[in-house]
Amino acid sequence: MHRIIFICTGNVCRSPMAEGILKVRLATINNKDIVVSSMGIHGLDHKPASELARQVCAEHGIDISKHVSRQLDFNEIDESGLILTLEMAQKNFILLFFKHLTERVFLLGCWPGEDSPKGNIKDPMGGSIKDYRKAFETIDRHIDRIIPDLHTMFG
């Protein structure tokens, strides 16, 4: 089994959406060799995905209603094959603690290329349904873009 983790700030908006999107894409292509999860770098633990994140995912046939936010699990991160953050600040935070994972921690909006501020995906927390839809569409587009790379990486 290969493990991919999405990391955002609170693990209630962007990373649960990314987790849900990738799980659906992998199920569609019948890939059972990749385990997908998500976490947050800042303290929200045991919270559901935000109402608007659930709503936007449901609009696309993705059910994240059972999602429960998690703080960083250092063992799981250390065992992961790929860690994808939604902002550069989260990547930098992870690398403070896991310098040895430099080759496995990336910004979703840029991977597998070079990091750029354009790769940050804005946090919709506190925003409108339009903000959540924009975040979802951006995450969805990047996940579709990286699926071939995941096949290459995890065979």
The full set of domain ranges for the chain reads 2-149
Note whether 53 and 20 are within 8 A (CB).
no
**Catalytic pick among 115, 123, 131, 133:** 123
Q: Which residues contact 124 (CB under 8 A, 6 or more apart)?
A: 13, 14, 52, 53, 131, 132, 134, 135
The per-residue pLDDT for 57 is: 98
CATH 3.60.20.10 holds for 2-149:
no
**Catalytic pick among 8, 13, 57, 110:** 8
- Which of 110, 24, 10 lies closest to 59 in space, CA to CA? 24
Active site residue 123: yes
Structure tokens at 123: 């946090």
> For residue 152, what is the enclosing H or E element?
helix 129-154
The per-residue pLDDT for 17 is: 98
The per-residue pLDDT for 29 is: 82
Burial of 74 from C-beta contacts in 10 A (0-12 / 13-18 / 19+): exposed
The per-residue pLDDT for 28 is: 87
**Catalytic pick among 13, 14, 54, 57:** 14
| Segments in the chain below pLDDT 70 | 43, 155
Give the model confidence (pLDDT) of 31-73 as tens digits: 788 999 999 998 678 999 999 999 999 999 999 999 999 999 9
The per-residue pLDDT for 82 is: 96
> For residue 106, what is the enclosing H or E element?
strand 105-107
CA–chain centroid gap for 63, Å, is 15
Confirm whether pTM is higher than 0.85.
Answer: yes
Note whether 86 and 7 are within 8 A (CB).
yes
